[in-house]
């Protein structure tokens, strides 16, 4: 290797130009810090190129196809859609292209950031080498994201499988898509490909959406099954094999055959090649160890986003982490991360959204809880749209919400006021008294809040006595 070229020290080096890294870099630079941003892959990271954006674009196309099949609900002739799969994937690519300028190298250079395209590695504490150049900074931020985790299934390394990083490059529709993994990514893509005309089989070693409310999961499970997605739960794959267009997975003595295989069994932290040991930083494929201030074992090196051990792997978490680090590294203000009320959404149809404790978690944490469940079928707007599957569930401890689960159309959007309310400590009585426009789906949450007070007011003999007394004395 040629001798390293020493670069003048910067205020901040950010490694990784995904959601987390871009947020830190732009925020710091616009406040006047000298920032170097290093990215070895695509600007925008996983969310833009292989995750949130393409998956939601595909989900939107698949929803249109399913809407044609379901038109009979509105007195319209149902039609089996003629799916031009290549055009669908062109739509997905087009959405990425529309958003890409926001995350482009040119835009961030416009903020005064030096952008280096290459793979960074530590050579010593707070010393970075990239493309033969040595860099140092007062603070370093590791925002290298995560990668698809491939399970150690015998024969899998010899199979041409797909991950979220490759499936959106398909131009021909899979005849039969095998999905290994029943988490959010696996189920969202399984339903989308089924709606677009592929046969789909999901194989999950335990249960689908294992960390979610069981009642809500049952709603999603029923919807997927009704649409023709084959769900094989408790199916531990012991071997993989086959060739392109004719793949198989073995469960016990049974072989399940398909044309394509999507591996969606989780994520591993993007730490490969960083040479963390040279910097004295603790971390492995499970993530980088940080404290509540998101500092690594070197207090002048931060880790944020998916690369953090034991942190939720969501784009909104990455943005949240970025704000915490900017406050510390740029403004020298104390800030700590708190993941207690971090919302999450699975974008199947129906959606499944959650914040706080599930009912099962709340029963373990508290001696007594109240559970209020309000069905979407009692919402007038849902009735008009013939989409009444799902409900909102409030889990309360001493009258305060400690968890909210919503399953149904637009569940992710309907969760927003509950995240705000729980974060601010808003009283349930305040939420039940809010005036909302009619008819909207948002009324679902208000009715659920009101349902907690109804038994205390209506049919209560003490309330009835007080009312009768008042009626005797008022003029």
d(CA 385, CA 74): 9
Model confidence at 4: pLDDT above 60: no
- Could you please report the per-residue DSSP string of 434-458? ----SS-TTHHHHHHHHHHHHHHHS
d(CA 146, CA 270): 5
pLDDT tier, 8 (very low <50, low <70, confident <90, very high otherwise) = low
Model confidence at 367: pLDDT above 80: yes
Cβ atoms of residues 136 and 5 within 8 Å:
no
At 112-146, the pLDDT tens digits run 999 999 999 999 999 999 999 999 999 999 999 99
Note the pLDDT of residue 383: 97
pLDDT tier, 361 (very low <50, low <70, confident <90, very high otherwise) = very high
Supply the mean pLDDT for the chain: 95
* Tokens of residue 201, six digits: 């089989």
Residue 2 DSSP code: P
d(CA 300, CA 298): 5
Residue that the structure tokens 């919503």 belong to: 406
Note the pLDDT of residue 453: 83
d(CA 369, CA 132): 60
At 279-298, the pLDDT tens digits run 999 999 999 999 999 999 99
Cβ atoms of residues 395 and 448 within 8 Å:
no
Averaged pLDDT, 382-411: 97
Question: Which phi and psi angles does 208 have, rounded to 5°?
Answer: -65, 145
pLDDT tier, 475 (very low <50, low <70, confident <90, very high otherwise) = confident
**Angle between helix 184-195 and 214-226 (nearest 10):** 20
Cβ atoms of residues 285 and 147 within 8 Å:
no
Residue 244 DSSP code: T
Distances (CA, A) of 40 to 16, 340, 379: 8, 33, 49
d(CA 150, CA 277): 24
- Could you please report the per-residue DSSP string of 390-449? -EEEEEEETTEEEEEEEEETTHHHHHHHHHHHHHHT--HHHHHH----SS-TTHHHHHHH
Note the pLDDT of residue 1: 39
pLDDT tier, 2 (very low <50, low <70, confident <90, very high otherwise) = very low
pLDDT tier, 352 (very low <50, low <70, confident <90, very high otherwise) = very high
Note the pLDDT of residue 472: 81
d(CA 322, CA 25): 9
At 439-468, the pLDDT tens digits run 999 999 999 999 888 777 677 777 777 877
At 158-201, the pLDDT tens digits run 999 999 999 999 999 999 999 999 999 999 999 999 999 999 99
Structural domains of the chain in order of their starting residue, each with its CATH number: 5-43+104-148+268-329 (3.50.50.60), 156-265 (3.50.50.60), 350-457 (3.30.390.30)
* Tokens of residue 282, six digits: 């603790």
Taking the chain, what is the end-to-end CA distance rounded to the nearest angstrom?
Answer: 96
Model confidence at 429: pLDDT above 50: yes
d(CA 313, CA 106): 27
Model confidence at 214: pLDDT above 70: yes
pLDDT tier, 401 (very low <50, low <70, confident <90, very high otherwise) = very high
d(CA 134, CA 8): 9
* Tokens of residue 447, six digits: 């009715």
Cβ atoms of residues 128 and 9 within 8 Å:
no
Model confidence at 50: pLDDT above 60: yes
d(CA 363, CA 365): 6
At 225-234, the pLDDT tens digits run 999 999 999 9
d(CA 183, CA 423): 27
């Amino acid at each position: 290797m040629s001798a390293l070229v020493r670069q003048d020290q910067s205020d901040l080096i950010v490694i990784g130009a995904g959601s987390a890294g871009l947020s830190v870099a732009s925020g710091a630079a616009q406040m006047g810090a000298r920032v170097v941003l290093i990215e070895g892959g695509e600007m925008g990271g996983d969310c833009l190129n292989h995750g949130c954006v393409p998956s939601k674009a595909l989900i939107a196309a698949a929803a249109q196809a399913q809407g044609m099949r379901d038109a009979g609900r509105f007195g319209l002739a149902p039609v089996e859609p003629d799916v031009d799969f290549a055009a669908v994937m062109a739509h997905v690519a087009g959405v990425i292209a529309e958003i890409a300028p926001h995350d482009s190298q040119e835009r961030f250079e416009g903020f005064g950031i030096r952008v280096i395209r290459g793979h960074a590695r530590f050579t010593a504490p707070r010393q970075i080498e990239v493309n033969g150049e040595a860099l140092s900074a007062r603070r370093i931020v590791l925002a290298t994201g995560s990668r698809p985790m491939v399970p150690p299934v015998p024969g899998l390394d010899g199979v041409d499988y797909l991950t979220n990083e490759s499936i959106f490059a398909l131009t021909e529709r899979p005849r039969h898509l095998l999905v290994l993994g029943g988490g959010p990514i696996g189920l969202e893509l399984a339903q989308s490909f089924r709606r677009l005309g592929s046969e789909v089989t999901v194989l999950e070693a335990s249960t689908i959406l294992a960390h979610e409310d069981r009642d809500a999961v049952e709603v999603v499970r029923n919807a997927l099954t009704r649409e023709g997605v084959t769900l094989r739960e408790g199916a531990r794959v012991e071997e993989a094999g086959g060739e392109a267009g004719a793949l198989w997975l073995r469960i016990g003595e049974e072989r399940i055959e398909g044309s394509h295989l999507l591996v969606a069994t989780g994520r591993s932290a993007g730490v490969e090649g960083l040479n963390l040991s040279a910097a004295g930083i603790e971390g492995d494929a499970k993530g980088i160890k940080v404290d509540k201030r998101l500092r690594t074992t070197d207090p002048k090196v931060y880790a944020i986003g998916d690369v953090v051990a034991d942190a939720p792997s969501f784009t909104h978490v990455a943005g949240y982490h970025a704000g915490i680090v900017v406050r510390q590294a740029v403004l020298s203000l104390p800030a700590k991360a708190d993941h207690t009320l971090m919302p999450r959404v699975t974008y199947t149809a129906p959606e499944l959204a959650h914040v706080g404790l599930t009912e099962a978690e709340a029963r373990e944490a508290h001696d007594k809880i109240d559970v209020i469940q309000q069905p979407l079928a009692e919402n007038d707007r849902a009735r008009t749209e013939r989409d009444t599957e799902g409900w909102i569930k409030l889990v309360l401890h001493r009258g305060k919400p400690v968890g909210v689960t919503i399953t149904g159309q637009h569940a992710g959007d309907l969760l927003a006021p509950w995240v705000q309310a729980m974060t601010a400590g808003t009283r349930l009585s305040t939420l039940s008294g809010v005036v909302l426009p009619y008819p909207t789906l948002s009324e679902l949450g208000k009715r659920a809040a009101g349902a907690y007070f109804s038994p205390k007011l209506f049919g209560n003999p003490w309330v009835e006595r007080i009312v009768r007394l008042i009626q005797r004395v008022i003029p």
